[in-house]
Amino acid sequence: MTGEALLSVRGSTLVDRNGTAVTLRGFGLGGWMNMENFITGYPANEEAHRESIRRVLGEERYRLFFDRFLEHFFTEEDARYIASLGLNLLRVPINYRHFEDDMRPFEIDESGFRHLDRVIDACARHGVYTIIDLHALPGYQNQHWHSDNPTHRALLWRHKHFQDRAVHLWEAIARRYRGNPWVAGYNPINEPADPSEEMIMPFYARLYEAIRAQDPDHVIFLEGNRYSQDFHMFGEPWDGVVYTNHDYALPGFVDGGPYPGVSRGTYVDRDVLEETFRRRSAYMLERGLHVWVGEFGPVYTGDPEADAMRYQVLRDQLEIYDRYGASWAIWLYKDIGLQGVAYAAPDSPWMRRIAPMAEKKARLGADAWGGTEEGIAHVMQPIRDLFAREFPDYAPFPFGASRDIQELVRHILLSEPLVEEFAELFRGVTEEEIDTLMRSFRLENCRLRTPLAEVLAEHSPAAARR
């Protein structure tokens, strides 16, 4: 690792210590040190998943279960593959629970860094930068499962205790990686969602000052409020900061319509994609700042015609990002078949083991991101009709009544009973069987979504230099 690789912010660009402009483009490693239900197949949120596996397997095999998962999900071969596409970035989402126990607040667990260090070092050996992304904060920074939230309330913004713990953790992270040239920087809060809009900037200021006290050099990547979309409460830009949005396109969602065409009641074509990007990036563009799109990317249905349209959405977005010189991290690198460029083979030991639960989750629409309501429309629609009739003006933060109903019914009410059912699929597994199951996620055992890889390679930093 060389000190020349260490990045800094210079106007609208990122530069290394030689003054060479660097555009960061790569993947988000979702589902690894911050697990998500649709990525690896379990129901509900990570904490519930872990607790149920512990009850079924006991402490020793529980630890082995998740350690083998972390070991096999990302290896040296994954870093090599990312570099082979000409890409140079891996955004690494982490869950605070790896580094601190709720029953022992403010005690940093050094063992939590073992796999994070390993992946950062592996990426560095292949010229791939990493961004450390705190995806799940104590108390939950947003209202959904991906902050490991079992509720629909973001308590981080209401309790100083949770905020103090997050600051303490970032101080530990910044101390550890200070001077590491292949850590591009720190992403302190993924998709913050402060309903009051009054706490986010004071808390960002605390985090910024705490990180800078430990590490004066690394870039800090700050996201807008309301899931990285709203910047109107932000004041003047801060030194050494890149501001980042998330830019998911409506036709790329699991329920997306044709492209060009209507999705969720809105017509979307290439011009609309650009208008949406410009709106979400207005704070940065108006001030001549660098733009990093921290998340974007369609899901894939398996239907060739639908997926061809989704690849076109992706191509159009990437061409827009090229014209604006934006950095990006597509969501996501690896999963069980919905979005990843690599995914567990359908006939792998893991996929065969979880097949009954995958079918039931799909039938019940239990995954808010990867599932639809087709099988439970007779349950969902009457609730929505009732709310429209009785509470026509009800529009809860962040995305209104319909999304709240989805979260409360599908992701909580219908998902919680599935947690124990999923854990029972692993009752009695041996240590050897655990290792075999988790090897399903090794790159050599995965399938590759070649068309996706080819599109990304065409827009990689390496391609731009040719």
Residue 409 in tokens: 């019914």
Cβ count within 10 A of residue 341 = 25
Residue 151 in tokens: 């509720």
Choice among 295, 319, 407, 458 that is catalytic: 295
Is 323 strand, coil or helix? helix
Choice among 191, 198, 209, 305 that is catalytic: 191
d(CA 460, CA 466): 10
DSSP bridge partners of 342: 334, 448
Burial of 410-434, coded b for 16+ CB within 10 Å and e otherwise, reads bbbebbeebbeebbebbeebeeeeb
Residue 447 in tokens: 């399938």
Burial of 120-159, coded b for 16+ CB within 10 Å and e otherwise, reads bebbbebebbbbbbbbbbbbbbbbbbbbbbbebebebbee
Residue with tokens 């483009």: 25
Burial of 370 per CB tally in 10 Å (0-12, 13-18, 19+): buried
Q: Which amino acid type is present at position 83?
A: A
Q: Does the active-site annotation cover 191?
A: yes
List active site positions.
191, 295
